[in-house]
Structures are given as C-alpha cells and as structure tokens.
Amino acid sequence: MTFINYDDKQVVPLWINGEASPLNAERFFEVVNAQENKTVHYAQGANEADAKAAVDAAAAAFQSWSQTSYSDRRALLLKVADLIEQRAEEIARMQVLETSCAPAFASFLPRLTAPVLREIASQISNCLAGSVCPTQTNDTYAFVTKEAVGPVLVISPWNSPTILGSRGVSSALAAGCTVVLKGSELCPATYRLLVSVFEDAGLPKGCLNLVQAGRSEAAAVTEAIIAHPQLRKVEFIGSAGIGSVIGQIAMKYLKPVFMELGGKAPAIITRNANLPKAAQLCAFGAFIHHGQICMSTERIIVVKAVADEFTRLLKEAVEKEFPDGAGSAVTKAFSDKAHALLEQAHQNGAKFLVGDNSYTGTQKSGLRPTIVTDLGPDDPLRDTETFGPSATLYVVEDEEEAIKLANDTKTGLVASIWTDDAMQGLDMSKRLQCGSVHINSTTLNDEPTSAITGTKGSGWGSNSGAFGINEFLVHKTITLRKSDAPIAFK
C-alpha cells in the first residue's frame, strides 16, 4: 500500500510498526513535480509523537531482530535485492514522478542497488566475527565480540533514494539493528515503495519504520527521534549545512553520528591523459542527473601543456552528450540557487566557456549545462557546491599546482586523475585530501566492495559493503576467569 485515499487526495502515510498511521489532514503536504509544476500526490507529515512511536517500535523489534542468525539476515537481504530488480520499473517511475529526474537515471539506480545489497549480505558473517585476545595470566580468557549498536536513525536524501536509502537500511539490518528511516519529503512515495520491498522480503514488523515531515516540522521531528532514549546512532546523507545541524543535535544527546555530505570534486587532467576519454567523462560527471550528485565533477583542473586540446574536446563532448540539456532540478528552488551562484560569478568577471547558465523547460526548472572559466579567487562559486549542471575549468602550470588547487577546498569526498602513467596516478592519489580517488574514471564511481568515505567537510565514517555494516556494530569485551583465581593488585 503506497497510498491511502483521503477525499480526492492520494496520501503517502507514515509507516510505523508494520502499518499505516492514522491520517491527519492538517499535516498533509504536497509533493510537486518541478518539471510540470504540479502536485502529484500528498504525504502525511510526522509530528513529535509520531517520531517517538517510530523509535518505540524499532526498540521493541530490536529485542528479537538483534538475535536473528546472520544467515537469516543474509537471506532476507538477498531477497530484497531480487525484489528491487523485479520492481525496478515501478520504483523508477515513482522517482521520475516525484523528483523530475531522467527516466534513464531512475532506471539505472535499481541495477546499481541490487549488487550493493548482495555485497552487504555476503559480508555479514565476516563483520560479526570477533577475536580472542592474549591475557597477562593463564587463568583468564578475553574475547572481543561485535554487537548491533541498537535502534538507529537513517536520514536519506531525494537524489538517489533507491541506492542510498536501501544501502543504509541494509547495512543497519545486517548488523542486527532496527531502523527509523526518515525519507525525503520530496519523494516520500519512492521511500514507501522501498520499505514495502523489505517487508515483502520477510522483514518483521517494527524493524523498519518510515517517517517523513514537511519543512516546517522536520527539525522538531528529527530532534525528537535523536533525543529518544532508545535511539543509539544516526546516519545522515545530505548537505553540509543540514549535516552541521544534525551533528550538533546528536552531540547534544550524546548520540554517535556518521555522515556523507557534499563535495566540490576535482578532476585533474595531466599531460599524460587520454584527452578524448577524459573530456567525455568530465562532461558526464558534471552534468548527469542535472549535477545533483554529491560526487559530481565540479572542478576540472587541466595542465597547461594540454589545455587547448582538452578544452576543444570538452566543448565537443558537452555538445554531443547533452544536446538537449541536462534535465530538470528536483525543485525550482534548486535550479534558482545554482543559477544565482553562476550569475554572480559571471558578473564578477568569470566567463562561460560552455553554455550560458540559462533556464530550460517550460517551468524553467532546469539549467543549461555550463562550464565557467576565469573564476576569481574569492568568488563563492570557487568552494560552494552548486548541485546543478555546472563545472569550473582551471588551467595550471603543472601537476604539482593541480594537486595544490584540488586540495584547496573545505570538502574532501572524491577526486579523479587522468593519466596514462600508473605510478604518477598512484603517487598523486596519495596526496589528494579526499576519501576516494579514481584514476582514469569519472568522479561518479564506486564499487560495492569499497569504502565511500568523506574527509574534511564532506563528513566522516564509511558506507558500502563491510565498511557500512561496521558503522552499526560496537565492540564488547568479555573475560572469563577461574572462580578461585587470585586477583593481584600489587
């Protein structure tokens, strides 16, 4: 049940303890398709009482779910992966409806998600393995075990709900945690579909609870969840600004939190680069999904010796790959924010190398792919994530200057290096201050088996595979002594 009919409205309910919460029309909010500027359905907004009920349900379910065998958890997640593949078309249609993304992008996400969930499932037994520690005396044994941290809050964004929401929930469930999932108010029905997949796979009631809130209630609802005495940890994926607020709330209640925030991802083009391929994938990394990905290529740094040739190829790549633009932003406000950043830079003397920062679409919800050059050193665009279809091109003297410029940012999520000299690429990667470096590939790149880690202002903690499961586990030391063994204090 994705919707409940209320008068003439289709409403996405809150989903707590395996059932829809009663509707309250006073807390309905609209879900708007930006590309057509029309309300497509409504969602029930949570209040603080709903927040408490969701954690209560997760805490009650934790008592049994945390004791399930790793093989049962594995089997469930493998079933979830299968169902996501089977229902890919339905999930993709809902994401397009709610977020105005390109159908091809929405259809790709389930194909990306299923292998990620299977990898998480395969790593459960390894992650739960403890250790036997040496002791100072022969009459004592010491064991370090790993246990689920407890009920957790997963806050997942609107831009890639299928992968980011499912990955966070699966990592927590794999560890033995139960979950309150706060889905984005911009795509609540997409999140409701994902929750139904987990329950249809056999997840018991209360193990996964879904809440969403309108903008005016979101802060109070989030704090109520984090403040709950039974809530043990928070995962947040989203903007640095909201992440800062979440971090302060978590600190207030002494709850651990890990975050994957935004970035200003650089792509470095060395003199040894495959220039046609680099140009193609820089354009792809900057403009796919209207630039609404935390790993989007926002800074292109090219060594002077190949700058002219690369620039020509980059222009051609943009014209070839994005002749009709880059689609639509999720809301008009997102496109307006990105447009304003580029417009300010242009007024301050920056030039448009590709595109003109103009609006696209009948509702002006999209922006034309644009590449900026000659950006001033103090311009806000230099270190502000646009989350729009834009990138800045810099020309530097050599690779040494390229590294310095790439590191000159408050964020550090991902970077790419283009070079046919493998040792050069590896040497440079060690000096880049970010969680992931992809040599001869786009910044939009990750493997189900590898860690996704933010550094500096891009967050902390790791997602994906075994790394994500470990975020939801805590170590417990257990010692065993002979009952008559003496205890020496001197």
Strands (E), 345-472: 351-354, 359-360, 366-367, 370-373, 390-396, 411-412, 414-418, 436-439, 452-453, 455-456, 459-460, 462-463
Buried/exposed code over 192-224 (b: 16+ C-beta within 10 A; e: otherwise): bbbbbbbeebebeebbbbbbbbbeebbeebbbb
Separation of CA 314 from chain center: 28
Bridge partner list, 257: 234
**Residue 90 CB contacts under 8 Å (≥ 6 apart), including other chains:** 193
Q: What is the phi/psi pair of residue 252, to 5°?
A: -55, -40
**CA–CA distance, 44 with 34 (Å, rounded to integer):** 20
Bridge partner list, 478: 143
**CA–CA distance, 42 with 189 (Å, rounded to integer):** 9
**CA–CA distance, 221 with 467 (Å, rounded to integer):** 29
Contact predicate 454/415, CB 8 Å: no
**CA–CA distance, 459 with 262 (Å, rounded to integer):** 8
Best CA proximity match to 257, nearest among 473, 469, 461:
461
Tokens representing 436 are 């992931």
Strands (E), 238-369: 257-260, 265-269, 297-303, 351-354, 359-360, 366-367
Best CA proximity match to 471, nearest among 221, 232, 121:
232
Best CA proximity match to 270, nearest among 308, 305, 303:
303
Tokens representing 449 are 């088996």
DSSP string, 146-212: EEE--SEEEE--SSSHHHHHHHHHHHHHHHT--EEEE--TTSHHHHHHHHHHHHHTTPPTTSEEEE-
Best CA proximity match to 158, nearest among 206, 113, 190:
190
Contact predicate 397/417, CB 8 Å: no
Residue 260 a catalytic site member: yes
Q: Rg of the Cα trace of the chain? A: 24
Contact predicate 449/119, CB 8 Å: yes
Torsion sign (Cα): 227, 232, 238, 244: positive
Q: Which of 185, 217, 260, 385 is catalytic?
A: 260
Question: Which residues are known to be catalytic?
Answer: 260
